[in-house]
Chain A
């Protein structure tokens, strides 16, 4: 186990089940990536959906006994007639959302990624994606965000499960601002969608929702030719910070791409990285098998050879620990990403 004592203990997980709005529980106000507490974005899911629902009576929100944790209580307060708590019955919630969608509603069903993206795979495939219904599956606390709550609450396999489902849009929210973009754009987007969120207070990447956001169109955040770091979700911040470390310490200039949409994948952006930059590193808070790295590899097999490596959680059940300690252990913080990038450039590993 690596990491400073502060990193190991500086993660307050007491608010996970009651949400970030419970200020009394925020005794140690410090985000896991070292962002000052004043910059921690609130979990905007409930607030943004409530705003969208003000002018769109098709929107409904469902959750499974986690209204506080995912802040859909804020939707409930404004639109109580369109809010449904299904209790601890996720499969019923997902299929009922499909029934609502078949009657003209746009339901957002939110619960922990470990349950939505793993327990409910068949309901998502058969009831939401196969009939091409506009169900929005909001999977929060993905990856190892649940830290010491353990493997049952980690979701390191959900992207692999979701991206093989035909017609299902799979997207990771980088931060609160991009989540707002996703939610707004989702309203009139056809078909079912899996929206993967981190902890809900991931460090900011965007100052405001990017106005040119489109599903399936990656966002290039930094230019560089020495390598491209393709990251998704909460790892985009780590990738950007890693790029700064590489530039300052080693003179390595990295292109950084926010590959928010895992399916459909922005193949052109990957092909451009293979053509224009000297190496490619993917970074994700997911098992390295089956997620973003695998998706990028599927594109690269048809490109000219380029040094390539996948960075994420190795093919194992993650350790238990406070999130900050886990990110450090698996090298999913800025220093870890920078270290992996250097290693890729030094060995020229083709990583295939």
Chain B
């Protein structure tokens, strides 16, 4: 798959085939498995739930310029759920932000690439993350900067569903609506699980649409593994500028793409070795199958 290589990505909503995006999501999953083996541990399942979202944003939708990572008019992406960085680094490398070979040293002493990402070390990364609950506030500041500079970039912020229990998220949600940040888009990776169990058992976050709507946001709810749905949602975003911020609630499956990890609490952090490693690589290579667990649906069930 070499489609899309060397293409100018400085316009949004590029015409990229779903097959190509599926291939890039597969690539992100394969790299996640490879990098986790280098580290000896990794956040497989949190990366896998976001693979299609990463691919759609970076290869099809966001206005970016890998040849000039700090291009002032680029769309911003803040990975508030920083523990999914293992799936994002390979995409940034693939797009040309840095040499892919640097990832061979992932998490080793002195590496630029840790489990949680550092903007000062990773070209193309718009903000450091790892401490959950901060990302949406960063996005608020960036969207206010866009307004002060009269720029029309969008600010995307990917939130985990578990981190919605952090109070600062709701401070930020309130301020985004108050400041009329129509350029701000929160994408909630609604994979249903946090470390100790189902979000609805540990600390319930539903009803998400009502909650964001109650804070003054536009909301959309989509299947976060369906490229058609993801791209349609991104295409339907309001024009950047003054207006309501938008929350895209992406229903996903934690661990999607590897049957034994789908919906499994045990795989938040893990380490694949030996035959398991080879089997998982083969399973991902063979492409996405229908999920092995019931889609948790709109009420997180």
Question: A89–B175 contact, CB under 8 A?
Answer: yes
Pick from B76, B118, B134, B168 the residue with the most CB of A within 10 Å: B134
Question: A105–B138 contact, CB under 8 A?
Answer: no
Question: B131–A126 contact, CB under 8 A?
Answer: yes
Picked from A94, A95, A96, A131, the residue with its CB within 8 Å of the CB of B144 is A96
Question: A105–B145 contact, CB under 8 A?
Answer: yes
Picked from B142, B168, B175, the residue with its CB within 8 Å of the CB of A103 is B142
Q: Which A residue's beta carbon lies closest to that of B134?
A: A95
Q: Which B residue's beta carbon lies closest to that of A84?
A: B144
Query: What is the total number of residues of chain B having a CB less than 8 Å from a CB of chain A?
Result: 32
B residues in contact with A102, CB < 8 Å: 119, 126-127, 138, 141-142
Q: Which B residue's beta carbon lies closest to that of A127?
A: B134
A98 to B144, CA, bound (A): 11
Query: What is the total number of residues of chain A having a CB less than 8 Å from a CB of chain B?
Result: 30
User: Known interface pairs A60-B148, A95-B137, A95-B168. Does A131 touch B119 (Cβ–Cβ under 8 Å)?
Assistant: yes
**Is A266 located at the chain interface by the 8 A CB criterion?**
no
**Is B139 located at the chain interface by the 8 A CB criterion?**
yes
Picked from B72, B76, B137, the residue with its CB within 8 Å of the CB of A91 is B137
A320 to B149, CA, bound (A): 46
**Is A34 located at the chain interface by the 8 A CB criterion?**
no
Picked from A57, A100, A130, A132, the residue with its CB within 8 Å of the CB of B141 is A100
Q: Which positions 103-146 of chain A face chain B at CB distance < 8 Å?
A: 103-105, 107, 122-123, 126-127, 130-132
A309 to B172, CA, bound (A): 45
A residues in contact with B137, CB < 8 Å: 91-92, 94-96, 98-99, 123, 127
B residues in contact with A89, CB < 8 Å: 171, 174-175
Minimum CB–CB distance from A91 to chain B (whole Å) comes to 5
A residues in contact with B277, CB < 8 Å: none
B residues in contact with A82, CB < 8 Å: 148
Question: A131–B120 contact, CB under 8 A?
Answer: yes
Question: A99–B148 contact, CB under 8 A?
Answer: no
A residues in contact with B146, CB < 8 Å: 103
Q: Which positions 126-174 of chain B face chain A at CB distance < 8 Å?
A: 126-128, 130-131, 134, 137-149, 167-168, 171-172, 174
A18 to B140, CA, bound (A): 27
Pick from B72, B126, B138, B147 the residue with the most CB of A within 10 Å: B138
A residues in contact with B119, CB < 8 Å: 102, 131
**Using an 8 Å CB-CB cutoff, how does the interface string of B174-207 with A read, 1 for contact, 0 for none?**
1100110000000000000000000000000000
A residues in contact with B179, CB < 8 Å: 84
Question: B131–A100 contact, CB under 8 A?
Answer: no
Question: B120–A81 contact, CB under 8 A?
Answer: no
Minimum CB–CB distance from A223 to chain B (whole Å) comes to 44
User: Known interface pairs A96-B140, A130-B128. Does A91 touch B149 (Cβ–Cβ under 8 Å)?
Assistant: no
A185 to B179, CA, bound (A): 30
Question: Could you list which residues of chain B lie within 8 angstroms of chain A, going by C-beta atoms?
Answer: 72, 76, 118-120, 126-128, 130-131, 134, 137-149, 167-168, 171-172, 174-175, 178-179
